[in-house]
Structures are given as structure tokens and as C-alpha cells.
Amino acid sequence: MGSLQLYLFGPSNARSSITELKVDKESIGGFGGIIGRKKGAVAIRINYKGIRIVFISCHLSAHAKKVEERNSECRHISHSLFSKNWNPYSRPSHITIWLGDLNYRLQGIDTYPARNLINNDLHQKLHGKDQLLQEAGRGQIFNGFCEGTLTFKPTYKYNKGSSNYDTSYKVRVPAWTDRILFKIEDESDIEATLNSYESMDEINGSDHKPVKAHLCLKLR
């Protein structure tokens, strides 16, 4: 999948606790400006100490107007991953963690009013204009998924190498394009506690700010 990658890290003795390891990928279209770079998703499924976890990392279609395309891509990825060699007797995952550049934008606001709210630490007023929250609220995507509160500033788009929003001629509207969501299949089986959800403003190597989440899992 070119630049779309997913890694799992853990202590060196964790390998003996991992079973049922499987990987998959799903492409959702053509090239994204770089030869061989496609949008889509990659996924890893593991059983770690009895907790069955699916990790999905994706990159969806860009631009504010392509809401329906992103919705369709989410549904396609969800239905397609691990379906090719699906075993009807396999046990469902306890939890699915979905992350990446989902590319949902802010709807119905221009760049300067949005930036003014952000600069005055009022970015929470932009939550109602977030396309992902709007579409999830309509039941179009991520049914049953949870996400932490967006207490951090929009993660897109920055001048690369800085913490300044886009100053090119496009002056793009900031947006929370980069997200981490999770879905518990049966709350009687597992307890999930989200301890933090934040962006990493100190990292300047991209025109996006990465996000991180601290999620603790416990079998009931």
C-alpha cells in the first residue's frame, strides 16, 4: 500500500502471548499524486493474552466535498477486511481500533472564522461542523464506535516544519482529519478505558499533526 503502513510495538517477551495473527489490506482507488501511493486501509488482527484486537489504519479521499465518498470507503473497508478467507466459526474481535487520516473536514465555515476560533482557544465551537461527527450522528459511518473528545486543535493543514496553519494561496480550512476511534463488540466481555486523546504539536515533520491515544483494556 505504498506509504500506508501499520506497526505494532511491544515488549520483547510479548510474542509468546500473541496468537491468531493475521494481516490484510484493502485498496480504495487510484493514485494519490505519488506513483504507487494508494488510499485504502491496512489491518492487523491478533489475540493478545486472550484479548482479540483488530487494528485498522486507513487513508480516505481528500477534499471537503467528498463526504459521501469517504462514507462509502469506510463501509467498504469495514466489510472487506479479513473477508476473503473468513471462517464462519472464528470468534469476533473484542475490540476494533480504527485510526489514520480519515480526511473528514469542517462543513460550512471559511478558513479565517475557523482560525479565529482556534487562535482564541474556542475550537470546541467547531465540533458541530466536523463532518465525521455529523456523519456518525446520522448513522452513516462508525456505528458503535467511540472517540475521545476533540480537546486538541485541528490537526490539518500546517506549513510543513512549523506549527503554523497553511499560508499557501489555498489557505486551507483547518480540520480534524487525523482520528482514533474504537469499538467494543460486547461490553460484558471487555472493559476499555480511554485515559488520554491528544495531538502531538511538537512534531513538525508533516503538514499534519499526529494524534495519540492511551487506551487500557481488561477482560471482565
We report the CATH number of the domain holding residue 57 as 3.60.10.10
Residue 1 is assigned to a structural domain of this protein:
no
Residue 3 is assigned to a structural domain of this protein:
no
**pLDDT tens-digit map of 168-218:** 999 999 999 999 999 999 988 999 999 999 999 999 999 999 999 999 999
Residue 30: is it exposed, middle or buried by C-beta count within 10 angstroms (0-12/13-18/19+)? exposed
What is the residue range of 197's domain?
12-219
Residue 42 is assigned to a structural domain of this protein:
yes
Residue 2 is assigned to a structural domain of this protein:
no
Residue 135 is assigned to a structural domain of this protein:
yes
pTM summary value: 0.92
Residue 112 is assigned to a structural domain of this protein:
yes
Residue 24 is assigned to a structural domain of this protein:
yes
**pLDDT tens-digit map of 27-74:** 886 554 444 556 899 999 999 999 999 999 999 999 999 999 999 999
**How big is the CA angle at 63 (ends 96 and 175), to the nearest 5 degrees?**
65
**pLDDT tens-digit map of 76-112:** 999 999 988 666 556 789 999 999 999 999 999 999 9
**Strand pairing category for 95-101 and 178-184:** antiparallel
Domains contained in the chain, number: 1
What is the residue type of 155? T
Residue 127 is assigned to a structural domain of this protein:
yes
